[in-house]
Chains A and B, each alone.
Chain A
């Protein structure tokens, strides 16, 4: 649980406010209200609770402390009523981690006097939104050739711990037409604990240039409500490459080849081999060429590629500072 570090602007969220049962009536004691923020509380996200006492009742609660309890009645935080502005009284905000389960949770708050005596009680609702879905998309080719097949991998996870095995997704093109549908597989992606994935085969459109398709993780058939999530799938549709750019990456000082340097000729990219050489197939056109990789600063050049061509990238070691500067 995070400690409160400074005051948080509390949005009064009307849907979450308790209904006061009358003025200083029966056993509820002195009336007060609880403000919660933000307006929509994500499962497991931060929730900020503040007690508010109207000017006419402030006198009775001047040295009081508010104790918050969760839906099980367990105490979850206590705050003094310290902020007295405009005659009203306000407690210090209490920041806590919200419950994971979507729906309405009946929390409560008790006003206690300096000796622990109960001065007032109040129930309030904390409404937790449906579970979000985390969606991730990788291995998207930087350039796709018009009409050619390509693959992408996508991963789906419920951050609240629901198993996303077999959850459905859909991919639509820029006109909104469905181009693929499928489900995640049975095992999480290596190195992750709950990211269920699928590799999808797609076919590039004929129209050239940048276009955004959409990948959507659909609401799963699951007892806990979830919220659908979409991500753009950026496509860079190019004509078939016509020319070859040969790059030789060398250390500017020693002349030694630089292996595994990255060659980026947007949107094409590759690495140099053990001899510092790389080849990129390109359509004709104007490009910016970067060759980079530790411990070197990026080499950059811009120009028109009309035919097959070769380029030597002289790379300078990342030593902007001398030893003396490093220890300065």
Chain B
């Protein structure tokens, strides 16, 4: 492959897409022009079609809403089984949050990578030159143990939440059974795994189950050969990313060997490459909004409607285009009806980016001032609860909604300041950098001792150094809260959650809750708590060496301010931040009071002197960087059975409807491990539908 923008045409033909399986009908005709005689038009009753007919713009075996972790996996799986597959994605490129991810992919149950590392073997291509990171007993896994782990009622974390107790049992059984074949499937589609090192959140406490995905630095980017150029990997220049990789790839020497790099790019791009090569088709820039079912709450799901949602560079007005094009269908009509002969698979992610929906769990987080992670990459259409909204309209049930509150990182305060997209560190070079305009300043947890944190009216609200603290996730080797760590953990033991033990292990600080509490600027009807600010002076910069310059901060995006005086700073924030709703009327007094506390060596309000030294905010100029609360991901969602069929309110599967990934609830497992296996299961069964 020479031109990295197009997959070799030869490969495409060999991928043998039967074009008759994927035909377009009705050209520019709108829905109203549809007639029963037009090919591809079926009789149906939906609220959109009072005359009882639907005009289908496209017809295909399997339609997938969302081309990320669950969606791409399901697409390849269904295509492998001979189905024609069309993926609809609201973004300009594929990969979803998977592309942004760390690629730490927790499966297990005796999967191929566990077996490889247990044997001390290298990978088939011989890239891995380092010994296993885990000892064989830590990798010695099986499906029963994995199933037990992910349904273990006894585990309680350091926030006194139970991460496994409420998981859906049938779905967990299917998940555990499908972990080994999914690992193999990913490897068969050009995904390369590093040595296993620990387990990811929600993946169980008993064994090591998670490797990263990697590629090797080389002269050209060639997915089949497993190589990537330094430019594409974003490692050629410390302050640039590339259109290929939204986040700079990390060094993977310790898990692979020299020249290996890792992160979600090494997972998402290989899967995308494979899907395109095998003949999966894609309509990008298109948001699915509704499912079309035979009758409103009854009958098969026939397809979906999707609206044109172009992602346009706000500075140039030019539409963004995907890195690879093969298999893309460029259709810019406003609304399309797409028929799924076999099934629709909902893989459009969760609701973390939809403040109205997520506020059902925590009303204080209805404030749109706080985004979800990776919001620049995904745009406002990502994580917008679209799967949940559409499926609820046709009678679907939900599961595990309370589990949103029981994962330690569902929402947290980021230690990256001065950018809205504070979970990730995208640098200029990626086409979506323009939506954030700054990378942010990573100050670490320790950096919180350098400033005071104030709310929208300019008042302190908590001991700053405790704000970014998060309790550990419950996973092997057990740094969550189980008393027996690592191999000493005893599943299903009541001692794991004895009241005495929980009292000892509880470490949650509630700083985030103070951050989003009502304050003097909270106004009816929403009573938003508003944005948060780190306030510091020139001395803080001299102490720390923080680089307060582009691309870390931007003078244009309203997430960084610099002023001669504290009074000016307050005015600038009020005038320049998109979510400032009230003046920071208390800021000046807060700083004067704080400087008094520093002189006295005691902070009577929040007792900060007990944790860290305190510094006066006195020497001009003065600075403000935004502090973000991030709602990272979703654990509640659609209820599914072991085949990933969506279940209705009567407990019956909705015919022709599947779901996977963060769209699905009832599995308190973070991220990729959940999405890939559920996509694998959904793709398998969707293709088998008659």
Contact residues of A with B, CB < 8 Å?
2, 5-8, 44-46, 97, 132, 134, 136-140, 142, 155, 157, 159, 188-189, 191-195, 210, 212, 231-232, 234-236, 262, 264, 266-267, 269, 288, 290, 292-298, 300, 318, 320-328
Asked if residues A46 and B581 are in contact (CB atoms below 8 Å), the reply is no
Asked if residues B620 and A189 are in contact (CB atoms below 8 Å), the reply is yes
Q: Which residues of B contact A212 (CB under 8 A)?
A: 596
Q: Which residues of B contact A320 (CB under 8 A)?
A: 445, 469-470
> CA separation between A132 and B150, bound complex, in Å?
62
In-complex Cβ contact of B566 among A134, A189, A264 (8 A): A134
Asked if residues B446 and A318 are in contact (CB atoms below 8 Å), the reply is yes
Asked if residues A191 and B620 are in contact (CB atoms below 8 Å), the reply is yes
Asked if residues A157 and B565 are in contact (CB atoms below 8 Å), the reply is yes
> CA separation between A134 and B563, bound complex, in Å?
12
Asked if residues A328 and B543 are in contact (CB atoms below 8 Å), the reply is no
Kindly list 18 other residue pairs between chains A and B, CB separation below 8 angstroms, not including A2-B575, A97-B575: A6-B581, A134-B565, A137-B618, A138-B620, A140-B618, A266-B609, A267-B601, A288-B601, A292-B449, A292-B612, A294-B544, A296-B446, A298-B611, A300-B611, A318-B445, A320-B445, A323-B197, A325-B470
Q: Which residues of A contact B601 (CB under 8 A)?
A: 266-267, 288
Q: Which residues of B contact A262 (CB under 8 A)?
A: 543, 613
List 25 A-B pairs, Cβ < 8 Å: A2-B575, A2-B580, A6-B525, A45-B583, A136-B566, A138-B539, A142-B599, A155-B564, A155-B565, A195-B565, A232-B592, A232-B595, A262-B613, A264-B613, A294-B443, A294-B544, A297-B446, A320-B470, A322-B198, A323-B197, A324-B200, A324-B473, A327-B104, A327-B200, A328-B632
> CA separation between A323 and B197, bound complex, in Å?
10
Distance (whole angstroms) from the CB of B590 to the closest CB of chain A: 14
Asked if residues B409 and A328 are in contact (CB atoms below 8 Å), the reply is yes
Q: Which residues of A contact B620 (CB under 8 A)?
A: 136, 138, 155, 189, 191-192, 195
Asked if residues A136 and B618 are in contact (CB atoms below 8 Å), the reply is yes
Asked if residues A210 and B618 are in contact (CB atoms below 8 Å), the reply is no
Per the 8 Å Cβ criterion, residues 182-203 of B in contact with A are 197-201
Distance (whole angstroms) from the CB of B375 to the closest CB of chain A: 17
Q: Which residues of A contact B670 (CB under 8 A)?
A: 328
Asked if residues A294 and B564 are in contact (CB atoms below 8 Å), the reply is no
Beta-carbon nearest neighbor of B527 in chain A: A6
Asked if residues A232 and B596 are in contact (CB atoms below 8 Å), the reply is yes
Asked if residues B104 and A294 are in contact (CB atoms below 8 Å), the reply is no
Beta-carbon nearest neighbor of B475 in chain A: A324
Distance (whole angstroms) from the CB of B102 to the closest CB of chain A: 3
Asked if residues B592 and A231 are in contact (CB atoms below 8 Å), the reply is yes
Asked if residues B524 and A6 are in contact (CB atoms below 8 Å), the reply is yes
Asked if residues A326 and B445 are in contact (CB atoms below 8 Å), the reply is no
Beta-carbon nearest neighbor of A289 in chain B: B613
Q: Which residues of B contact A140 (CB under 8 A)?
A: 599, 616, 618
Interface contacts (Cβ under 8 Å), in number, total: 156
Contact residues of B with A, CB < 8 Å?
101-102, 104, 197-201, 210, 408-409, 443-447, 449, 465, 469-470, 472-473, 475, 479, 523-526, 537-539, 543-544, 564-568, 571, 574-575, 580-581, 583, 592, 595-596, 599-601, 609, 611-613, 616, 618-621, 632, 670-671
Asked if residues B618 and A157 are in contact (CB atoms below 8 Å), the reply is no
Distance (whole angstroms) from the CB of A195 to the closest CB of chain B: 4
> CA separation between A195 and B565, bound complex, in Å?
8
Distance (whole angstroms) from the CB of A108 to the closest CB of chain B: 25
Beta-carbon nearest neighbor of A139 in chain B: B619
> CA separation between A120 and B440, bound complex, in Å?
52
Asked if residues B200 and A234 are in contact (CB atoms below 8 Å), the reply is no
> CA separation between A35 and B618, bound complex, in Å?
38
> CA separation between A210 and B599, bound complex, in Å?
8
Asked if residues A298 and B596 are in contact (CB atoms below 8 Å), the reply is no
Distance (whole angstroms) from the CB of B444 to the closest CB of chain A: 4
Q: A8-B523, A159-B565, A294-B443 are in contact. Are A191 and B472 (CB under 8 A)?
A: no
Q: Which residues of B contact A195 (CB under 8 A)?
A: 564-565, 620
The 10 closest A-B pairs by CB, nearest first: A327-B102, A234-B599, A264-B613, A266-B601, A134-B565, A192-B564, A138-B618, A138-B619, A290-B613, A318-B446
Question: Chain B's interface: helix, strand, loop or mixed, by majority?
Answer: loop
Asked if residues A323 and B611 are in contact (CB atoms below 8 Å), the reply is no
Q: Which residues of B contact A267 (CB under 8 A)?
A: 599, 601
Q: Which residues of B contact A234 (CB under 8 A)?
A: 595-596, 599-600
> CA separation between A33 and B382, bound complex, in Å?
47
Q: Which residues of B contact A5 (CB under 8 A)?
A: 581
Asked if residues B612 and A159 are in contact (CB atoms below 8 Å), the reply is no
Q: Which residues of B contact A318 (CB under 8 A)?
A: 444-446
> CA separation between A155 and B621, bound complex, in Å?
11
Asked if residues A192 and B543 are in contact (CB atoms below 8 Å), the reply is no
> CA separation between A231 and B618, bound complex, in Å?
11
Query: Counting chain A CB atoms within 10 Å of each CB, which of B543, B620, B621 scores highest?
Result: B620
In-complex Cβ contact of B613 among A155, A231, A269 (8 A): A269
Beta-carbon nearest neighbor of A188 in chain B: B564
Distance (whole angstroms) from the CB of B176 to the closest CB of chain A: 20
Beta-carbon nearest neighbor of A137 in chain B: B618
Q: Which residues of B contact A155 (CB under 8 A)?
A: 564-565, 620
Q: Which residues of B contact A194 (CB under 8 A)?
A: 564
Q: Which residues of A contact B544 (CB under 8 A)?
A: 293-294
> CA separation between A294 and B442, bound complex, in Å?
11
Distance (whole angstroms) from the CB of A315 to the closest CB of chain B: 10
Beta-carbon nearest neighbor of B210 in chain A: A324
Distance (whole angstroms) from the CB of A206 to the closest CB of chain B: 19
Beta-carbon nearest neighbor of A320 in chain B: B445
Q: Which residues of B contact A294 (CB under 8 A)?
A: 443-444, 446-447, 544
Distance (whole angstroms) from the CB of B256 to the closest CB of chain A: 14
> CA separation between A282 and B539, bound complex, in Å?
23
Distance (whole angstroms) from the CB of A291 to the closest CB of chain B: 9
Asked if residues A325 and B472 are in contact (CB atoms below 8 Å), the reply is yes
> CA separation between A185 and B583, bound complex, in Å?
31
Q: Which residues of B contact A6 (CB under 8 A)?
A: 523-526, 581
Distance (whole angstroms) from the CB of B557 to the closest CB of chain A: 17
Distance (whole angstroms) from the CB of A110 to the closest CB of chain B: 28
Distance (whole angstroms) from the CB of A17 to the closest CB of chain B: 23
Q: Which residues of B contact A188 (CB under 8 A)?
A: 564
Q: Which residues of A contact B616 (CB under 8 A)?
A: 138, 140
Q: A136-B620, A326-B102 are in contact. Are A157 and B599 (CB under 8 A)?
A: no
Q: Which residues of A contact B475 (CB under 8 A)?
A: 324
> CA separation between A290 and B465, bound complex, in Å?
14
Q: Which residues of B contact A45 (CB under 8 A)?
A: 571, 583
Beta-carbon nearest neighbor of A297 in chain B: B446
Q: Which residues of A contact B447 (CB under 8 A)?
A: 294
Distance (whole angstroms) from the CB of B10 to the closest CB of chain A: 37
> CA separation between A142 and B444, bound complex, in Å?
27
Asked if residues B564 and A328 are in contact (CB atoms below 8 Å), the reply is no
Q: A294-B447, A298-B613 are in contact. Are A46 and B526 (CB under 8 A)?
A: no
